[in-house]
Structure 1
C-alpha cells in the first residue's frame, strides 16, 4: 500500500492533472458511473466531521474529514483527515492519502474548472478571499492552469503573508470585490463576505465555504444578479449550504438557470454572471486519489 506524503501528492497532482481529474470526476457523476452513498455528518466537540464513501470503476474510497477552526492555533490545517483507497475488485488497500492536502487540491481544481467554463483560460483579475490553506491552493492552481493578470487577496488576517508568498496583492475586501473578474471565496465566515452590489458586470463567483444550512458567504444581491447558479451537487447544497437553501426559500433562484457542474461540462460553458457553489462530493476524492496513484513516481 502506498502512503502518500503531502509533497508526494502535490508532485503527482499538478494543476493540469488535478483539473483533468475533476473534469473526469464530474463527467462520471453526470453519467451515473459513480456510486456515492449519503455522507455521514457528525458534530464532534462542536466541529463538523464527515465520512464520505465513493465507488467508481477505478477505486473504492472512504474519506474521513473534519473542519476544526481551532487547528490553526495548533499549527495544523483547519480541514484535516485521510482518504483510504481500495481496489473495487479485491478490497486490497492501495493507498492512504492525506485528506487536508487532497481536499485543498481537488477543491481548488474544481473551482478553476468552473472558471474555465465561465470565462475561458484568461482571467484579467482574480480575487481570492481568505488567507488559509484553501486560499493558497486556489491561487497556485489558478496560476498553474490559467493565464492570470492580477491576483488580489483579502482576509481578516494572513492575506499580506499569503500575497507575498504567491506574488499577489494584499488589498481590502471592498477593493477586491469591485475590481475582480473572478472571485474565489474560501472563508470560514458564517455571514456574507461577497456583496453583490459591489461586483463587476459579468462576474463569476466561486464559494467553497458556508457548508452548513445557516451559514452564508454570498449575500442575496449576488444571487439576484446572477443568471446561472451552478452547484457541484444540487442534492448536497440543498441539504448543507445556506448559500443555496436561503435564496431558494426566498424565491431568488426563480427565473435563473440552476444546474450542476456535470451538466455544464456536457455543453461546455456557463452563462455569466454566474455562481459556482461547492460543498464537496466524494467522487472528487476518488478521482483525485486515483490520478495521484496513476501519476506518482
Structure 2
C-alpha cells in the first residue's frame, strides 16, 4: 500500500493531469458513472467536518476532511484531511493520500477548468481573494495551466507575503474587483467579498468558500449580473451553499447548469459567469486514482 504525502502529490500530479482528473470526474458524475452518497456533515467543536465516500468501476475512495479556521493562528492549513483509495475488485487498500493537499489541488483544478470552459486559456488579469493554502494552489495550478498576464491578490492579512511568493501584485479588494477579468474567491468569509458594483461588465468568478447555508462569498448584485451560473452538483449546492440557496429563493439565479453537462455535451458558456463549487466526492476519487496510477509510472 502506498502513502502519498503532499510533496509526492506535487511531484507526480502536473497541472494538466490534475485538471484532466477533475474534468473526467465531473463528466462521469453527470453521466451517473460515479456513485457518491451524500456526504455526512458533522460539527465538531464548532468546526465543519465532512465524510465523503464514492466509488466507480475502478476505484473506491473515502475522504475525511475538515475546515478548522483557528488553524490560521496555529500556523496550520485551515483544511485538513486524509483520503483512502481501495480496489473495488479485491477490497485491498491501495493508497493513503494526504487529503489536505489533494483537496487543495482538486479544488484549484476545478476553478481552473471552469475558467478554461467559460473564458478560455488567455487571462489578462486574474484576481485571487484569500491568502491561505487554497489561494496558493489556485495561483500555482492556474499559472501552470493557463496563460495569465497578471495576478492580483488580496486578503485580510498575509497576502503581501503570498504575492511575493507567487509573483503577484498585492492590492486592496476594490482594486482587485475592478481590474480582474477572472476572480477566484478562496475565503472562509461568511459575508460577500465579491461585490457586483465593482466588477467589469464581462467576468468569470469561481467561488470555493461559503459551503454552509448561512455563508456568502458572492453578493446578490454579482449573481444578478451573471448570465450563466455553473455548479459542480446541483444537489450539493442546493443543500449546502448560501451562495446558491439564498439568491435562488430570491429568484436571482439564471441559467443554472452542472459543469459535467457542459463538458459532456460541449455546451458554450455565456458570460458573465459564476462557478460555485462546494466540492464533490467524484473529484477526490478521480484525482486520487490519477495520482495512484501516475505513482506506478514514476516508480518504474
Q: Which residue of 1 aligns with 2:262?
A: 264
Give 1:270 shift. Answer: 1.8
Offset from partner CA, 1:146-189 (integer Å, 9 cap, x none) = 00000000000010000000000000000000000000000000
Give 1:268 shift. Answer: 4.3
SS at match of 1:150: strand
Q: 1:283 and 2:275 equivalent?
A: no
Equivalent residue runs for 1:137-156 within 5 Å: 137-156=137-156
Give 1:71 shift. Answer: 1.2
Q: Which residue of 1 aligns with 2:231?
A: 231
CA distance in 1, matches of 2:193, 2:268: 26
Q: With the length of structure 2 as denominator, give the TM-score of the two structures.
A: 0.97
Offset from partner CA, 1:85-121 (integer Å, 9 cap, x none) = 0001111000000111000000000000000001111
Q: Which residue of 2 aligns with 1:273?
A: 272
SS at match of 1:89: coil
SS at match of 1:58: coil
Q: Which residue of 2 aligns with 1:118?
A: 118
SS at match of 1:221: helix
CA distance in 2, matches of 1:261, 1:69: 29
Which segment drifts farther, 220-229 or 5-14? 5-14
Give 1:80 shift. Answer: 0.2
CA distance in 2, matches of 1:106, 1:42: 22
Q: Which residue of 2 aligns with 1:244?
A: 244
CA distance in 2, matches of 1:221, 1:203: 13
CA distance in 2, matches of 1:37, 1:75: 33
Give 1:58 shift. Answer: 2.2
CA distance in 1, matches of 2:12, 2:114: 22
Give 1:229 shift. Answer: 0.4
Q: With the length of structure 1 as denominator, give the TM-score of the two structures.
A: 0.98
Q: Which residue of 2 aligns with 1:100?
A: 100
CA distance in 2, matches of 1:76, 1:57: 36
CA distance in 2, matches of 1:6, 1:105: 10
RMSD: 0.7
Give 1:75 shift. Answer: 2.1
Equivalent residue runs for 1:108-257 within 5 Å: 108-253=108-253, 256-257=254-255
The ranges of structure 1 where at least 4 consecutive aligned residues each deviate by more than 4 angstroms after the TM superposition are none
CA distance in 2, matches of 1:175, 1:11: 35
CA distance in 2, matches of 1:101, 1:276: 21
SS at match of 1:35: coil
Q: Which residue of 1 aligns with 2:294?
A: 295
Give 1:73 shift. Answer: 1.8
SS at match of 1:262: helix
Q: 1:48 and 2:45 equivalent?
A: no
CA distance in 2, matches of 1:135, 1:177: 16
